[in-house]
Chain A
Amino acid sequence: MKTYINGIGCVSAQKTFEGDFASAFETHENLNVLSVEAPPYKDYFSPIAARRMAKGVKNGIVASTIAMKESGLEMPDAIITGTGMGCIEDSDKFLKAIIDNNEEFLTPTSFIQSTHNTVAAQIALGLQCKAYNFTYVNAAVSFESALLDAKLQIDEGEANSTLIGAIDEMTDYTVSLFKLAGFIKKDSEAVFPVLDSKTSGTVFGEGATFFVLENTRKSSTYAEVKDVEIINEIALDLLAEKAEQFLKTNGLSVSDIDLLITGINGDAAFNDYYEALTSQFAGTSQAYYKHLSGEYNTASAFGLYVGANIIRSQQVPQILKSNNLSKPQYKHILLYNQYRGIDHSFTLISHVETP
């Protein structure tokens, strides 16, 4: 059976929870950490219901609600999420309390919220959904693992509809650690372009992006998900060959790809992988997104949100373009991502005629 993206909900550093796609996109090159543009949470749940919800849980519930509403899905056959670090705000809070209070007077809420599958669990609780419920926590392929699992379920006829999502949070403490470790660009650089950056480190972000994947086409269908592959390590000189193999198993070659979307994140230390692909696909239209979403383990879900919108509208907004080529039609889009040289993923989506 085929896998269609029929609904998307996105909470990000851009105003993506409402309005036309890309209409409110803005770059902030003076920031090396992008915080979420918060949706009106009160429209989605009461403050009492939210009393112990972590930031990631709130964003996840909003994004999943939007995705389900758009697709008209009421009860999924599976709920699958991906997160790189889980709800770290609560995790940091509990840890700090342990250390500061010498293990006394600790309360359970932040511990419970720090378990990685809490978003998937709370969505299931809210929907009273007793179906399959998995959470993947594997750095930059956390979301792709969820996507792969969901597609496998639909391929094998185990599910007709799945709700999948990606969630990650940023906190002050983690930002300070990442700056210390050199994962985030140095404050002293003052300007943080993501394209053609000469310095190491990235611009960090946070967000939640959810998709409804089903085996039927609807008027809300964005795209067909053709394939997704995850590889933990690829030698640089073998990357181009890997990309070709991936396309070949799907009956395509480099020239069939109308748009390449990469997870370019401004980290010069690991940009050679992205450079290898952008030159392999030099004849294709190219786009990027992490200057809008920021980098985080599941930012590639924002990339899929971007790709799905582009393939449905058949237009690439200027703010997303990373080269000057346009195509008359966007039939096949290839997404590629990696983080710090490992956790590579290829995702292939194709245009679909909607009924």
Chain B
Amino acid sequence: MEALKQELKGKIIEVLNLEDIAVADINDDDALFGDGLGLDSIDALELIVMLDKDYGIKLTDPKEGKNIFRSIDTMAEYITAHRTK
């Protein structure tokens, strides 16, 4: 799962256009939303599209994203369990 976690950090930076942040700056268990990285609900929608496009996971209820996107760790776990790509 390590490789996936690194991959996710890179994707988040790219998809969300986080210009001044490097992969090394994001810790696996850092809070991505709220106080941590400071992402918001629009970023969550962007990540939902990324889940579909890159991993073949379709979320129908945006509220599900809250738990999945809590940290890189939770994202990697969810993707590993549900990916179809």
Contact = CB atoms under 8 A, between A and B. Distances in A.
A50 B45 CA distance: 17
A51 B45 contact: no
B19 A108 contact: no
Interface string B44-60: 01100100110000000
Interface in A257-315: none
B67 interface: no
A69 interface: no
Query: Which of under 10, 10 to 19, 20 to 34, or 35 or more describes the interface residues of A?
Result: 10 to 19
A105 B49 contact: yes
Interface string B1-38: 00000000000000111111100000000000000001
A109 B20 contact: no
A107 B54 CA distance: 13
A51 B45 CA distance: 15
A51 B49 contact: no
Interface string A92-106: 000000000000011
Chain A interface helix/strand/loop/mixed: loop
A112 interface: yes
A109 B18 contact: no
A52 B42 CA distance: 10
B17 A51 contact: yes
Given A105-B52, A105-B53, A47 B20 contact: yes
A46 interface: yes
Interface in B45-84: 45-46, 49, 52-53
A109 B46 contact: yes
A48 B38 contact: yes
B35 to A, nearest CB: 13
A216 B11 CA distance: 51
A108 B20 contact: no
